[in-house]
Structure 1
Amino acid sequence: MRATDQSRPSSRRGASGAWNRLKPPREDALESYGLPSKGETRLNDFKTQEIYYNRIVERYMKFCAASPNGSDLDAHFASLSIQSTSLKSSTITTEEPQTIPDPPMANTSTGELAKILSALRKLREGITATARCDLFAKRAYIFNVHAAILCRDWESYHPALVTLLNKIHPQTPLTPAELHEYVGYLILDQACRQGDYTGAHETRLKYKYMDWRVQCVLQALVADNWVVFWKMKKAVDGYQRRIMGYAEQTIRVHALKCLGRGYMSADKRFIESCADRQWSDLVDDGVGWELTETDRVIIKKPKAK
């Protein structure tokens, strides 16, 4: 009986240890709130919104600091792009390119960015639910626009842009420099992503927007002028360049189709300048033209008589 009694404490300690190991994992601060549109009400509090925003910014800055260089950071942002396009050799002159998923990036990096963008959506919904248009709302929406543009997440930056310009700006005005910046983003989004050239020009006239680079982008898109488009891509800032990326594939396919119709062969460097892409990347995309040892690209071979 004594042996049995002595064994009981150790048995209880084992159960206690097992219970401790089954404790739930610590909840992620960015996932501690649900979507206000789904019934979450805690984000309707102004102070809670501000604390949550500070957590988002902190996580975003840590994510950026963790990337060893700018190229890796750009790759992580690009990894959230929903689709990229591929050029098939048979589509250069006849069909539009098919769409394929982007190459997968590190799951941890992609997952962290996705959490940040999801948290920004929750914050936006909380600000909208409280009809907040003060300096904090302005700052939060500006941050949202910048982060989402870098990730090319138009479902996040476009509604933020529209709200910033149409609802917040009338009550908490943007500075002239800020207004110029965000109107420019909206114009480029309308032209490059939506293909709405009329809407882009209407926005330009509405805000009396003047920027020769953006104007050149609009003209290049309307005229299918890939030479000017690629030049402007190098002339604009990083955020504008991200938005221009939505039109890149259309411009590239058009350029290659023109080459396919007008040339039997061309120098490799000329092909790369027209497509704004390295030859090896074009081959990976599916371009089936032949490269000779003299760096001459055979586009079409003469038909046998």
Structure 2
Amino acid sequence: MSRLRPVADSLENVGFVSKGDKKLLDPKVQTEYFDKIVDRYMRFCAHHSKDLDAALASLPTSASNDATSNPPAAQRPSTSTPAVRGVPAPSTELSTLLLSLRKLREAVLATASNTTATFSQRVHVFSIRLSILAHHPPSYFPSLRYSLDKLHSQSHPLPDSEAKELVTYLILDYACRQQDMVAAFELRARARKEHAFHSQTVDKVLAALLHDNWVIFWQLHNSVDSYTRAVMNWASDRVRRHALKAVGSAYLNVHISWIVGGCTGDEQSWTWDKLVEVEKLGWERDDDKIIIKRPRQRAPPKPESTTV
């Protein structure tokens, strides 16, 4: 039997500063560690390039903001992205990446006096983007708040494009995931005043959610970048269900494409059978027509009685 021990993972070999590990207290080591994280993420994307969306969605997801699940232990491999020999399951690698970024953010905070503001901003922005794509709110939501409230300062402001990007994610997270429209509108108003923030996309998404306009919501969802779409995805289920409910109450029958494409916003990913299974629809299919309800047949008139 070989006495060689397996090589320790260069990311997992580092612990949390809060638990006494001092490896990341050196700013130079922080930079090297961050470079390793970025490299591992690039390899993750290369390994799963054929179905990257499925790989990024492989973590167990929850809309909860409970930081105790930061990040969740990956217990199941992705059914859409099978493991490749020598390559960790996507959920395992994502969990490692998110946990490593949490260690690094903690270390950067602990060494704030010795760490440059620019490096801290780089770490947090990268962490936010990856965590949004991985659908992991406990990793991105606190970082969004910290980046905008603390790191985006008068002495070291974020680049305008990044500041606008982060404000967009935070507003949409309030509206789409947390379903807190009051907080979303309040943040938009404050961002307009403090950062001259303006975004037609944000305005239209908020209006679409406020007025239950699923047509506009799906149009925007399919036109924005992958990060914004990932945040909007938190509202996808309720927008789809509202659309189905509205169609079901207004029509007797419709073309199947109107249901599969129009109500879901994604005709490529949804089929009629999948929609029936997920939403427990009791409607009937007649070729390309979906029968929502059949009109009641009028009872024939009763013959007039004659008296003799």
- Both structures adopt the same fold (TM-score exceeding 0.5): yes
**1:152 matched to 2:135:** yes
State the 1:292 CA deviation.
3.3
CA RMSD of aligned residues (A): 2.2
State the 1:103 CA deviation.
6.4
Per the alignment, in what secondary structure is the counterpart of residue 53 of structure 1? helix
Which of residues 265, 268, 274 is equivalent to 1:281? 274
Q: Residues 141 and 27 (structure 1 numbering): CA distance in 2 closer, same or farther, change over 3 Å?
A: same
State the 1:38 CA deviation.
2.7
8 Å CA contact 2:253–2:289 kept in 1: the answer is yes
Corresponding residue for 1:169?
Answer: 152
8 Å CA contact 1:82–1:102 kept in 2: the answer is no
State the 1:217 CA deviation.
0.3
Q: Residues 259 and 103 (structure 1 numbering): CA distance in 2 closer, same or farther, change over 3 Å?
A: farther
Corresponding residue for 2:305?
Answer: none
8 Å CA contact 2:283–2:290 kept in 1: the answer is yes
8 Å CA contact 1:83–1:102 kept in 2: the answer is no
Corresponding residue for 2:184?
Answer: 200
CA distance in 2, matches of 1:103, 1:56: 21
Pairing 1:1-305 to 2, within 5 Å after superposition: 18=1, 21-69=2-50, 72-82=51-61, 104-105=79-80, 106=82, 108-131=89-112, 132=115, 134-170=117-153, 171-208=155-192, 209-272=197-260, 273-277=262-266, 278=270, 279-302=272-295
- Which structure carries more helix by proportion? 1
Return 5+ residue gaps in structure 1 as ranges: 1-17, 85-100
Per the alignment, in what secondary structure is the counterpart of residue 260 of structure 1? helix
8 Å CA contact 1:217–1:229 kept in 2: the answer is yes
State the 1:288 CA deviation.
2.9
Per the alignment, in what secondary structure is the counterpart of residue 5 of structure 2? coil
CA distance in 2, matches of 1:39, 1:224: 50
Corresponding residue for 2:86?
Answer: none
TM-superposition CA deviations, 1:166-208 (whole Å, max 9, x none): 1111142111111111111111111111111111111111121
State the 1:260 CA deviation.
2.2
TM-superposition CA deviations, 1:38-67 (whole Å, max 9, x none): 332222221111111011011111111223
Once the two structures are overlaid, the 10-residue window that deviates more, 39-48 or 274-283, is 274-283
Corresponding residue for 1:6?
Answer: none
8 Å CA contact 1:213–1:235 kept in 2: the answer is no
CA distance in 1, matches of 2:91, 2:242: 32
For these two proteins, the number of residue pairs brought into alignment is 268
Once the two structures are overlaid, the 10-residue window that deviates more, 103-112 or 135-144, is 103-112
Per the alignment, in what secondary structure is the counterpart of residue 215 of structure 2? helix
Q: Amino acid of the residue matched to residue 193 of structure 1? A: R
Return 5+ residue gaps in structure 2 as ranges: 64-75, 84-88, 300-308
State the 1:244 CA deviation.
0.0
Percent identity between matched residues is 39
Q: Amino acid of the residue matched to residue 176 of structure 1? A: D
